[in-house]
Amino acid sequence: MQMKKTEKIKIPLLLFVICLAVCWIFVLQYGIFGSDLDWVNQHSVLPDYFRLRFYDTGQLFPDITWNLGAGQNIYNFSYYGLFNPIIWISYLLPFVPMSLYIQITSILSYGVSVVIFYCWLKKKWDDRITLACTFLFLLAAPLVYHSYNQLMFVNYMPFLCAAFLGVDKYVEEKKKALLLCGVCGMILTSFFFSIGGLLAVGIYGASRFTERGIKVFLKDSISLAGVLFHGVLLCGILLIPTAFVLLGRGGNGSQAEAVVSLFTVQPMRFLYTPHGVGLSALALVALFDGMVCKRKWQEKMLPVSLFLIFTIPLVGYVLNGGLYDKGKVFIPFLPLMCMEIAKYIERIKKRENSFRDILPYFITAIFLFAGKTFWALLDCGLMLLFFFLRKRFSIYPLAVWASCVILFCSGWAINKGSNHIIPKEDYEKILDRDTKAEVEEILEKDTGWYRMEEQQGGKKELQDINRIEDSRQWITSMYSSAYNEEYYKFRRETYDINEHFRNNMMQAVSDNPLFLQLMGVKYVIGNHPLAGYELLEEGENGNLYVNSHAAPIGYVTNEVVSEKNYQTLDFPANQTAFLWKAVTESAGDDGDFPVMNTCSLEILEINEEENQIKKTSFGWSFSLSTEKKVSIPMKDVPMTEDLLSVRFQVKNKKDKDMYIRLCGQTNRLTAKSHEYANHNESFAYTVTLNPENQTADFIFGPGEYEISNLEVFTGNLSELRNEKLYETPLKLEKTEGDTLICSVNNKEAGYLITSIPYDEGFEIHINGEKTSVEKVNTAFVGAKVPKGKCTIEISYEAKGKTLGFLCTGAGILLLFGYKIRCNKKGRMVQ
């Protein structure tokens, strides 16, 4: 008996060890199991924040993150593991760094996926076919690649494979526990890819039911759909509030491409690439054979369904949430494609060579040729050769093993050549224990209510865009697929802040001193002094600067002006006005603002062989092969001026990214073809002017582009600031999860002004009485406040959360009902 158990676990254990070896060969020998793509600034840091917040509040189901993006609905970040059961386990392990935990669990998830897939196939085919096709699954391009790059593309795979096992159990025994667990785990782990996963599970289940006739097919398919819906219902607490934030995002996300045809030929959805199912040409051969060979229609249902899913653009758009038609959403169909290969190998064992049997290879060759993947024809030819040799080597599925060799070589090349793996030494610098200790020291010394940010610049800034060193640290930056619409519009349109990353959803930390003042950023860790900030302490990894005049995050004032009046202002008054008056919808229209001084600036012409800058009738024309630095003296500017504001329009002549820096501040215009193009055609800068060397230091990036409508202004920050505006700051007494409890003593009635982005989910209670929430400073939370001592509670409830709880509760009640019914049936049988 013991011998049998050992035999059962021997192959799964061996497969798991091989998965570990593949991870080392492809990734770990070059660095950590993580990348400098979204892994470093989303997938590893946001779960760490969720855990920090849980330790701080004890809330498993929070509504808001006060720390990120100036204060956001926490469901804006739900995609990154908010209710992921694997992430929740880390809450029990506070001594394990989250970055290490994510690496370990990613490797384990990969290995477990392979083992469960093997167990699923083993029930259907002999050991040789099962083992060969499991290796094919193991080496498929997306699995390892996305396990350290874009985790949500594959981290649901163990639950998806378990769901396929659950379908078999449901079909054969009418037991749905495993299927329900697989569906729920898949949704909670990666709700975006669970849509494709549910479709994959659905068509597989439907294909199983066809074996029993059309009546059983219709009846049981509806029953299966009910189980899948039950799984969705159980996850309502995640899905419904997330749906509300995604629907409220508007049209500022990635831009959808137009649907131009009803049919597409894209072989790379099947072949090698990690942004598809990532198999060899054998997958296409197996699919076409399943469609054209002599079999019953029931057996053809699954391959035909898969082919239609992969080749109808509308399906790709729906699975991508209507954003674009990208191949990444077909990764959940990888197990089914591997299963189709297993079916094909089993079918051709007994076949004699005939034209009908060779037809799938010709169709595959035509498909590859139409898709302009000519080099893949060699792979197809190799598969045809093994088809002819199959009788001589009938014991082993040589075509599958040859495909495994191809995938191993291509996988090693893809991962090694991606240049995204982070060397261990570099990652130690990113974690930077000294910076963390410095942040914690400041928070211990200064217990006030303020924001503190790191401005390391360049790649380091991108890596830290979502990084919170301490649960008490508040920052203005964020990077997520969903975001607060009011805050996003304020940064991009109202305030016209510079865009220095190519992805339009990256709301980076700003080095605009006026924005930092407005948002209450009291402390900055960086390498360059900013207007209004004084050096507090020097450090090896960045100096510490403080601005004692930064706006409080919340204050009460009567220094207000109407939004109607504010909307008449142009750049740079649209930025400086917030330092002089607060903007409310119900204030009077009177209000004068100090203005910055206009001045002239002439960009020098350059006429070199490879770099040219020419003056034109509309502005300047640039044709640069490398970046070019140009320093322009600011003439007749008083030494007291410490601010320089510049704005101009940009026209990019080529479909490539371009950028222009002014005094270290960057604006970037993304290529139009990029799916997350930022459309930043108005470059605005407000930078600190060096009083000792008053020059406008431009760095013009390579490319061909034009600039026009150049506007230049200088000013003094202290003269643009109204000291009366912040005379009555709020004191933050304590934070209770989703509620801020503050106190204030007003000499007279006024307006509560905060720099927390406005959202319909906010409620404000003043001395226990609910008051109406107003939008102030065009995008932030505010209210009217009476005279005298006040206790102000600012609380937040995520839209749709109550409905989500009700759906989850209904799903749990259905579970209990199902359990009771099963128990009754059991007693009746007895």
Q: Is the pLDDT of residue 507 over 80?
A: yes
Q: What percent of the chain has pLDDT over 90?
A: 58
728, β-bridge pairs: 556
Q: What percent of the chain has pLDDT over 70?
A: 93
Give the residue-averaged pLDDT of 462-486.
91
- Mean pLDDT is lowest, of 177-191, 409-423, 746-760, for 409-423
Are 565 and 778 in contact, with CB atoms under 8 Å apart? no
Q: Is the pLDDT of residue 543 over 50?
A: yes
Give the residue-averaged pLDDT of 315-338.
86
Q: Is the pLDDT of residue 637 over 50?
A: yes
- Candidates 515, 513, 549, 548; CA nearest to 531 is 513
- Mean pLDDT is lowest, of 108-117, 174-183, 354-363, 438-447, for 354-363
| Mean pLDDT value across the chain | 88
Q: What pLDDT is attached to residue 7?
A: 59
Task: Take residue 210 and report the two structure tokens written for it.
Answer: 């066809």
Give the residue-averaged pLDDT of 158-178.
92
783, β-bridge pairs: 752
- 351-360, 692-701, 736-745: range with highest mean pLDDT: 736-745
- Mean pLDDT is lowest, of 112-121, 284-293, 327-336, for 284-293
Q: What pLDDT is attached to residue 257?
A: 46
| Amino acid (one-letter) located at 773 | V
Cβ neighbours of residue 783 under 8 Å, at least 6 residues apart? Answer: 751, 752, 764, 766, 771, 772, 773, 774
Instruction: Name the strand (E) or helix (H) holding 757.
Output: strand 750-757
Q: What pLDDT is attached to residue 261?
A: 56
Task: Take residue 637 and report the two structure tokens written for it.
Answer: 């500017």
Give the residue-averaged pLDDT of 724-752.
93
Q: What is the pTM of this model?
A: 0.91
Q: What pLDDT is attached to residue 349?
A: 76
- Candidates 553, 552, 542, 554; CA nearest to 439 is 542
Domains of the chain: residue spans and CATH: 254-393 (no CATH), 432-547 (no CATH), 551-585+730-798 (2.60.40), 598-720 (2.60.120)
Give the residue-averaged pLDDT of 331-351.
89
For the sheet containing 762-766, what is the strand order?
731-736, 739-746, 788-796, 762-766, 769-771
Tell how far CA 737 is from the center of its chain: 25
Q: What pLDDT is attached to residue 391?
A: 60
- Mean pLDDT is lowest, of 323-327, 468-472, 576-580, 721-725, for 323-327
Q: Is the pLDDT of residue 826 over 80?
A: no
Task: Assess whether the previous peptide bond of 572 is cis (omega < 30° from 0).
Answer: yes
Task: Check residues 511 and 756 and name the one with the higher pLDDT.
Answer: 756
CA 797, 801, 805 angle in degrees (round to 5)? 135
Q: Note the pLDDT tens digit of each residue in 757-770.
A: 999 999 999 999 99
| CA 538 to each of CA 242, 405, 464, 527, 529: distance values in angstroms, whole numbers, following the listed order | 43, 55, 20, 9, 11
Interatomic CA distance for residues 175 and 81, integer angstroms: 29
DSSP one-letter string for 669-702: E--TTSTT-----EEEEEEE--SSS-EEEEEEPS
Are 147 and 107 in contact, with CB atoms under 8 Å apart? yes
Give the residue-averaged pLDDT of 232-244.
95
Q: Note the pLDDT tens digit of each residue in 739-796.
A: 999 999 998 999 999 999 999 999 999 999 999 999 999 999 999 999 999 999 999 9
Task: Take residue 375 and report the two structure tokens written for it.
Answer: 């080099």
- Mean pLDDT is lowest, of 387-396, 617-626, 643-652, for 387-396
Q: Is the pLDDT of residue 829 over 60?
A: no
Farthest CA pair distance, the chain: 100
Q: What pLDDT is attached to residue 761?
A: 93
- Candidates 681, 671, 496, 474; CA nearest to 574 is 496
Q: Is the pLDDT of residue 596 over 60?
A: yes
